[in-house]
């Protein structure tokens, strides 16, 4: 029976819907085993991210087999010590259409051209260049938008970014298609770069600092 923390602290979930009960049980299991408390609002952000997979990653015309139209989540916590802070690591993956293709579907063709053109001009004036893939990913992360029109929907990626920006040592990486978005507050980095496509779908890597629970008085 393994006992090392690098093994026993890993958790694995998969599903086809948001399945909030699984997330709640995951966070509860960590709370029961550790002296640190998950940040407030973590459940809501994770749940929204999985809802987005269900609604956007696998369109009706997808070629992905039915039994593979799901998300996979891996999580692990590191207990804080006197010499190092604690962290909760979360990886969420799907083999769907990708964030950029999903955004193309939600935006009309003329709207894409208009918005992308305006943003390209703005960044060129600032000495920055982006490919269409990286600019679409940047827009998806930094500009909340919901195809449902409901104010509490479509905020998964921007909420993840805001969550990390409120920390000192949190990290967020979103890899989709030929682009990677990185958010590292400690290095004052929050931007998108081009990269070679390495796998289908979208991979989100999230590192969240954990603080010790205050002792009851």
pLDDT of 94 > 60? The answer is: yes
Measured at the CA of 67, the angle between CA 207 and CA 75, to 5 degrees, comes to 15
Spatial CA neighbour of 101 closest among 178, 2, 36: 178
> Looking at residues 85-108, what average pLDDT do you find?
85
Retrieve residue 150's tokens.
Answer: 């409901």
pLDDT of 200 > 90? The answer is: yes
pLDDT of 202 > 70? The answer is: yes
pLDDT of residue 119: 67
pLDDT of residue 151: 39
CB atoms within 10 A of CB 117: 10
Residue 95's pLDDT band (cuts 50, 70, 90): very high
pLDDT of residue 148: 41
Spatial CA neighbour of 179 closest among 147, 142, 144, 126: 142
pLDDT digits (tens, 9 = 90+) for 38-85: 678 888 888 888 888 878 889 888 999 999 999 999 999 888 877 777
Retrieve residue 67's tokens.
Answer: 């039994």
Q: What DSSP character marks residue 57?
A: I
In the chain, domain spans? 5-212
pLDDT of 113 > 80? The answer is: no
Q: Which of 48-52, 141-145, 169-173 is predicted least confidently?
A: 141-145
Spatial CA neighbour of 174 closest among 66, 67, 53: 53
Q: What is the mean pLDDT of the chain?
A: 80
> Looking at residues 162-169, what average pLDDT do you find?
87
With a pLDDT cut of 90, the percent of the chain lying above it is: 23
More confident residue, 214 or 53: 53
Long-range Cβ contacts of 29-34 (<8 Å, 24+ apart): 30/75, 30/77, 30/88, 33/9, 34/77, 34/79, 34/86, 34/210
- What is the CATH T-level fold of the domain 5-212, as seen in this structure? Heat Shock Protein 90 (3.30.565)
């Amino acid at each position: 029976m393994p006992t090392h923390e690098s093994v026993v602290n890993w958790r694995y979930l998969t599903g086809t819907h948001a399945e909030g009960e699984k997330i709640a049980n995951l966070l509860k299991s960590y709370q029961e085993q550790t002296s640190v408390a998950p940040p407030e609002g973590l459940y809501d952000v994770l749940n929204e991210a999985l809802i987005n997979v269900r609604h956007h990653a696998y369109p009706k015309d997808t070629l992905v087999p039915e039994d593979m139209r799901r998300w996979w989540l891996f999580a692990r916590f590191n207990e804080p010590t006197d010499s190092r802070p604690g962290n909760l690591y979360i990886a969420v993956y799907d083999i769907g259409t990708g964030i950029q293709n999903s955004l193309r579907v939600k935006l009309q063709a003329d709207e894409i051209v208009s918005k992308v053109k305006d943003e390209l001009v703005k960044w060129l004036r600032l000495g920055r260049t982006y490919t269409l893939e990286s600019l679409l990913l940047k827009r998806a992360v930094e500009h909340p938008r919901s195809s449902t029109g409901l104010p509490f929907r479509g905020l998964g990626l921007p909420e993840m970014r805001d969550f990390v920006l409120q920390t000192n040592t949190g990290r967020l990486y979103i890899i989709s298609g030929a682009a990677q978005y990185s958010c590292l507050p400690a290095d004052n980095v929050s931007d998108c770069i081009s990269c070679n496509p390495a796998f289908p779908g979208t991979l989100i890597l999230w590192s969240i600092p954990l603080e010790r629970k205050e002792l009851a008085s």
